[in-house]
Structure formats: structure tokens, C-alpha cells
Amino acid sequence: MGKSSREKRTQKVIEVLNKARAMELQAIHQYMNQHYNLDDLDFGDLAAKVKLIAIDEMRHAEKFAERIKELGGEPVTGHDGTVKKGQAVEGIFPFDANLEDDTIEVYNQFLLVCRENGDSISMKLFEEIIDEEQLHYNYFDNVDHHIKKLGDTYLAKIAGTPSSTGLGPSGFAVSGGGE
């Protein structure tokens, strides 16, 4: 097998990794918007969970970028589509369950592209991330069912709950600013 054929195969893998990265960047923006929105509506616990899920998507976007760099590619910075704003609480959860479901479907296709092009590391990365998208799907779908079945009774129990995620401060500045 010649070098150029190998390069072509790597390009195909980089392409799906970048498509996945753009989807993650889109999910981050969408979920951050919903997090502020749910916090405003005073559904603290829902806001906190959506924030944590947005952080998962950031980890995914970084993992895809790291693999793209390892393969000699350039990670994309643009996100895939536009962010829906001002969604009602009843609209958020079926929307997000659907987004995760589509993501799982698409990532399974991308995983096959990695396999066909002989990249088992990228294949495993997709496998690992699909597992986490499944957890997101389960959560969004559960909340959607509660809202559909119990409506205001369920939402009344959530109203006024704290939106704290329990996460300690992290990031560059609070970890000593590089010292």
C-alpha cells in the first residue's frame, strides 16, 4: 500500500473527526444557552445538569481536537448550525433527546469510517464518546417523560432547587494563574 493511499485514509478519518467536533461545539453553545435559560426560569436542578452535560461536550470537542492534531490535521472552530434561543422548558428536553439520538446515529457511522480506514484509536474514541452521549440521551429522555406525564406537578418540585453543580473552581486563573 503506497503512502498516498495511507494519507487519503487519514484524511477521511480527520474529516469525520472534524465533523464530530463541529457537532460538539454546536451542542456546547446550545446547552450553555439552555443552562442560563433554565436558571432564569428557576429550575435550578435542570440548569445544573444541563451545565454538566455542556462540560462533557467540551471534553469531547477537546478529545476530537487532540486526535485530529495527532493525525496532522487542523481542528475546526466553527459550530454546526444555529443555536435555538428562548426555548420553553417543555421544548428543551425532547429537543435535546433528539439531538443526542441523532449524534449517536451519526457517530456510529463515523466509527465505521474509522474502521474502514484502519484507525482503531479513533474508532475507540468514538465508542467511548457514544457511551457518554447515551447517558445524555437517557437523562434528557427521562426528564421529557416526567414533564409529559406529570407536567406542573413535576416542575413544581424542581422550581427553586439550587443550580449549583457542586463542582469546585477549576481552570487556569483559579489554579494559580500558571505559577
Contact positions vs Fe ion (CB under 5 A): 24, 57, 60, 100, 133, 136
Question: Smallest gap, in angstroms, from Cβ of residue 16 to Fe ion?
Answer: 14
Looking at the Cβ atoms of 87 and 155, the one nearer to Fe ion is 87
Residue among 5 and 167 whose Cβ is closer to Fe ion: 167
Considering Cα of 45, then 51, then 52, then 56, what sign does the dihedral take?
positive
Closest approach, Cβ 42 to Fe ion, in A, equals: 25
Least separation in angstroms between CB 105 and Fe ion? 13
Q: Please report how close the Cβ of residue 106 comes to Fe ion at its closest, in angstroms.
A: 11
14 or 125, CB closer to Fe ion? Answer: 125
Question: Which residue's CB is nearer to Fe ion, number 42 or number 131?
Answer: 131
Query: Is 29 or 136 the residue whose CB approaches Fe ion more closely?
Result: 136
The answer to whether 156 and 45 have CB atoms below 8 angstroms apart is: no
From residue 163, how far is each of 10, 31, 42, 83 by CA, in Å?
Answer: 43, 14, 8, 22
Instruction: In angstroms, give the least distance from the CB of 96 to Fe ion.
Output: 8
Exposed, middle or buried by CB within 10 Å (0-12, 13-18, 19+), for 39? middle
Instruction: Quote the least distance from Cβ 85 to Fe ion, whole Å.
Output: 19
Helices 89-116, 3-40: crossing angle, 10 deg rounding:
170
**Gap between the Cα atoms of 111 and 16, Å rounded:** 9
What dihedral angle (degrees, nearest 10) is formed by the CA atoms of 68, 119, 116, 9?
A: 50
Q: CB nearer to Fe ion: give 55 or 155.
A: 55
- Helix 3-40 to helix 120-150 angle, to the nearest 10 degrees? 20
